[in-house]
Structure 1
């Protein structure tokens, strides 16, 4: 960048995008702190939530939904499995595929974690009117669409 170009933080789009990124980071940190009493990290909560909503999904499908590499999932799953929160079972049609399901303990922990997560969301979104809340969601969905993320 040379001296004749505008600095990126002078651009409202850049400045506002940094605000979005900082807000996301702040929520992630707050969620991490709030989940500590449950001995759960936000990434682990994402796994539990997805397996609750889509029981029997494969590790590959889970990685794609969470927008992470399969190696990340491969590291997370043994931790959750050793705690008795999920099961990995072979697929009947393709032995290379492992299907993932929550255990009763996983479901119970998820219910507790969802109370924590919901309380944090309510705290953050209470700063907005219902129409502003809808607008925030609409803008975030548009970002996902522009980036073509599932």
Structure 2
């Protein structure tokens, strides 16, 4: 298996509500097949899929899907952008789990849950600058240069 994630699929209870939430964050929907909603990202896609249908596809009872201990993450270019994304998410209907705050390793993060409880981390990592197109790599992009933390 090649080292990549092509598609992240989130099980949702109300697909129209879930799509409206991500659209309120400023995301643009791609053409989607009937019954799912897809958002193309940098190098992958995020799909919203009815929870019952996903469970059936997996051969599981819907109650067996659970929510799991994971987060989806969106890294930002600046410290101030973390708070801006968190405000936009809250206005779109997210539940703020932990407001934007500085962390011991020198970054700035916040957490929110979308309307179906999927947890998102919004992070500024001064040690992993984003590429000009917004792509993320753990060690950053050498040509992106150091980005000093900004007040926010």
Structure with greater strand share of residues:
2
> Smaller-chain TM-score range?
under 0.3
Bigger-Rg structure (1/2): 1
